[in-house]
Amino acid sequence: MYADIPICTAAPTADEKARVKHYFIGNLELDDYYSAAKYEEDAISLTDRLFADQDILIVTGGSMMYIDALCYGIDMIPTIPDDIRKPLLERYHKEGLDNLVQELKLLDPAYYKEVDRRNPKRVLHALEVCYMTGHPYSDLRKGHKVQRPFNIIRIGLTRPREQLYERINRRVDIMVENGLIDEARRMYPRRGLNSLNTVGMKELFCWMDGALTPDGKPWTLDFAIEKIKQNTRIYSRKQMTWFKRDPNTRWFNPDDAQSIIDYIKDKTCS
């Protein structure tokens, strides 16, 4: 969705966009505020328009909360005003994440236990809601699923882990070949933006900052690239854990395209 980092986000190429109409590609600036709740609003508005003359729409991607927001709705979390959001963001840049995590533990111990406490976006958003509403973020997350005016066919793509990891490693190598390092250098002056706290950027920023590895050695470019591969593999495991919670997902090997097509035909005709 962020226009300035197409290599890091593996955005569709110009050829791919010419073959198939895409939406929500390059539609945000790096300093734009966006959330799963806003995506739900935008995506539902788009589906209302597209279903006027289309029978089937395809949503693809691995952003777990965004997929669930479209399919099932997201809890009624209020939009956070700038006078709450910006001071918290400034605190994060000045104090780091640990202080904010400890504050979240006090304000919402239930969410503290389940949140990824290394993810500043999740921690900051929970604190924003606590500040705005005066209630714990967890109290507003009821998990109620809305009924959509369209049928949902959920298809998961998976491979044996060895193949998946090999493809992830090669994908990172291709990103580097396509200019990922130059893209990160262009983004470096803006490295404090939350949108750049993503796999691919944060590891290269550590290298550019002259950070040290856990054993006290300087980050090298090769070490940064290996960390990108490692963190992508970790993220892929989180994706699988998340999506496998939904019993409505039917899993396929992505090479078995005909079976996927047959399954969609069967589900749309039944």
Read off the pLDDT of residues 47-69 as tens digits, 9 standing for 90 and up. 999 999 999 999 998 788 889 88
Answer whether residue 74 is part of any domain. no
Number of domains in the chain: 1
The reported pLDDT for the residue numbered 35 is 81
> Can you tell me the distance from the alpha carbon of 243 to that of 191, in angstroms, rounded to the nearest whole number?
30
Residue 111 lies in a domain: yes
Is residue 185 a part of any domain in this protein? no
Helix (H) or strand (E) holding 251: strand 249-252
Domain of residue 114, residue span: 82-140
Residues of the chain scoring pLDDT < 50:
none
Asked if 30 contacts 4 with a C-beta cutoff of 8 angstroms, the reply is yes
Question: What is the pLDDT, as a whole number, of residue 118?
Answer: 86
Residue 173 lies in a domain: no
Q: What is the pLDDT of residue 77?
A: 67
Per the domain annotation, does 180 fall within a domain? Answer: no
CATH number at residue 86: 1.10.20.140
38 three-state secondary structure = helix
Residue 103 in domain: yes
Which residues, at least 6 apart from 45, have a Cβ–Cβ distance to it below 8 Å? none
Sign of CA dihedral 34, 36, 192, 225: negative
Residue 152 lies in a domain: no
pLDDT at 209: 95
pLDDT, residue 47, reads: 96
Could you tell me if residue 101 is inside a domain?
yes
Q: Where are the alpha helices (DSSP H) in the chain?
A: 14-19, 36-50, 64-72, 82-95, 97-107, 109-114, 120-133, 161-177, 180-187, 202-209, 221-243, 257-269
pLDDT tens, residue by residue, 180-210: 999 999 999 999 888 898 999 999 999 999 9
Q: Residue 97: CB partners within 8 Å, gap ≥ 6? A: 117, 118, 120, 123
Q: Which two tokens stand for residue 252?
A: 């396929």
